Structure 1
Amino acid sequence: MPQKMTWLLIAVAIAGFAMAEIISKRYRDTVHATSNDTKLELLMSLSLLVFTQPLIVLVTDALCQRFAPHLRNAWSTLPWWAMVAILLVGDDMMQYWWHRISHSALLWPLHRAHHSASYMSIRITYRNNFFYYLMMPGLWVGAVTLYLGFGTVYAAYVVVKLAVILGAHCAWAWDAPLYRIRALHPLMWIVERTISTPATHRAHHAITNVDGIGHYKGNFGNLLFFWDVLFGTAHITRQYPAEVGLRDDQLFGAERWNHQMFYPLCQSSREYSALKFGGQIYSDESAVEMSLDGAADSTR
């Protein structure tokens, strides 16, 4: 796929979902972003596009040329379906596991920025910590496949993956009207177990799990939701959580954009924060306990 065509299709995908958010009025009604949010989302998207991805490709190319010069374009004769299979495992499945371990205490500070948004929108697609993407194994594997000669197939794969991810984050839930059509229920049963959808991904962004809809400890898939099905982290309800975001931000105020983007180089000054050494991670269970304590105090 020519580079110009790749960028054109990416632009069409972004513009299409942006228009869907605007026309459906979901952006107006649900996206209440602050300047702090905008700085984080804009700077992270630009840094990924302008710095991180080009750097990973250049470094990988240099290393491969140094240690394996004979492998340049060595796999370019593989059939397209074989290349896609390799990308799905080497990039998408690897991203599933990277995403999953990023919800551990050690790596959570590098990923919490993505969950700190109190709204769903395509604008949060690349809202993350700077080092989250720099360390993402799938991006490095993807750069290796480019060296091996996957160029055209990789470009098409990126377009498809981006379209699915944008759709999963879109303020307008494209799957909602399809769930209401009874004749489509069998098809949607397959779709929601194959790719990430707004319903399954919103559950991952939910502020709580106690309603039975939220599932922020699962639904980690990016392009393929199938990885969640395969590895036992899937939660499918065809419902949408009432709130998304982080409980600790509700309780103690939003973290500054630079702390979210550049931790551990920049650390939070907030009293309760995961973005500083020795900080705490708050869950909805913690918030419930605090609310009960507060209610008890008020009756004394």
Structure 2
Amino acid sequence: MTATQWQNILVLCTIMGFATMEYVSRRYKNTVTATGNDTKLEVFMFLSVLAITQPLAIFVTSKLGHAWFPDYKNALADLPWWGMVGILLVADDMTQYWWHRLSHSPLLWPLHRAHHSAEYMSIRVTFRNNFFYYLMMPGLWAAGALLYLGFGGMVYALYIAVKLLVILGAHCAWRWDEPLYRVRALHPLMWVLERTISTPATHWAHHAITNEDGVGHYKGNFGNLLFLWDIIFGSAHITRQYPARVGLIDDKLFGQERWYHQMLYPVLQSKREHSALRVGGSIYAGPETLDTKS
């Protein structure tokens, strides 16, 4: 089998594994309250990343490479595996950290708010975003350039498989880290792990509907594969607890935005009151306080 086939098998097994745990643990049935609007957004975004955005980035970078830098085709193919992984962590994962962090600024928030509008956590939320959020993601284009330079094969395949394992696990309705925190002998290991990769506890805090409970931290915990970037760049918040609710306060007050506005802004724009998804609109600046028990 080719490296790409191995990658696809590993990713599929990861998705099926977490989906099974969501079902077996009853976390999906008890906590995921998705509407038809949510489902359309999540399905169409997953398909667009798989069928349009990622192939487009690889195709365009390959064409530009052949046109402008033909002598550099596979120039880095002989790097040791650890060298390739180190470059991928910086060019792909660290740039994604900064793109994610910048996407919480007023200018770029409309391209990312769809990811936070879900009122539940599940692997189905993982690729829930605006179409242009992924199309403009620097790490995706950097990965395409690295593939042209020779970063294919099992190194890249395993890197992608591991990254998806961590990211899907961080969004999963089944909180895999929760029982591990209860085992006293594992406390040192978990201390290291939660500062190295994204976990449900740290990433759920990023999706919290409020910061007022001391658990939520939607203005930090931006890491995707490595939570270490949050530690290094001062945006980490670790509590080993989970927010009572996730989502957006403005959606609770004014109703959820339509899936096509969330996915295709600024091409399609919302008419909702207090909407960031229209030209001239702004992030809701009302009170942060919300009854998290209702």
- Shorter-chain TM-score range: over 0.9
The Cα RMSD (Å) is 1.1
Q: Deviations over 1:205-244 (max 9, x none)?
A: 0000000000000000000000000000000000000000
1:259 maps onto 2:261 in alignment: yes
C-alpha distance after superposition, 1:125-167 (max 9, x if no partner): 0000000000000000000110011102111100000000000
Q: Work out the CA distance in 1 between the residues paired with 2:267 and 2:34.
A: 25
Q: Deviations over 1:41-92 (max 9, x none)?
A: 0000000000110011000000011110000001000000000000000000
* SS of corresponding position for 1:58: helix
Pairing of 1:196-215 with structure 2 (within 5 A)? 196-215=198-217
CA contact (8 A) 2:170 2:198 kept: yes
**1:183 alignment partner in structure 2:** 185
Q: Which residue of 1 aligns with 2:128?
A: 127
Aligned counterparts of 1:6 and 1:157: Cα–Cα separation in 2: 9
SS in 2 for 1:120: coil
Q: Which amino acid aligns with 1:111?
A: H
- Corresponding position of 1:144: 145
CA deviation profile, 1:86-114 (whole Å, cap 9, x unmatched): 00000000000000000000000000000
Q: Quote the residue 2:34 is aligned against.
A: 33
Instruction: Quote the residue 2:11 is aligned against.
Output: 10
Map of 2:96 onto structure 1: 95
Identify the structure with the greater helix proportion: 1
1:217-296 equivalent positions in 2, closer than 5 A? 217-282=219-284, 286-288=287-289
Q: 1:32-71, aligned counterparts within 5 Å?
A: 32-71=33-72
Aligned-pair CA distance for 1:286: 2.1
Offset, 1:10: 0.6
Give the unaligned 5+ runs of structure 1. Answer: 292-300
DSSP-derived class of the 2:287 partner: helix
Matching residue of 1:108: 109
Taking the aligned partners of 1:196 and 1:105, their CA distance within structure 2 comes to 25
TM-score, normalised with respect to structure 2? 0.97
Identity, % of aligned positions:
67
Q: Flag structure 2 segments of 5+ consecutive residues without an equivalent.
A: none
The offset of 1:272, in angstroms, is 1.1
Report the CA distance between 1:287 and its aligned residue.
4.3
Structure 2 partner of 1:159: 161
Report how many residues are paired: 289
Give the match's secondary structure for 1:280.
coil
How far off is 1:279 after superposition? 1.1
Distance in structure 2 (CA, Å) of the matches to 1:3 and 1:97: 28
Q: Name the residue aligned to 2:194.
A: 192
Return the TM-score normalized by structure 1: 0.95
Q: In the aligned structure 1, how far is the partner of 2:135 from the partner of 2:52?
A: 10
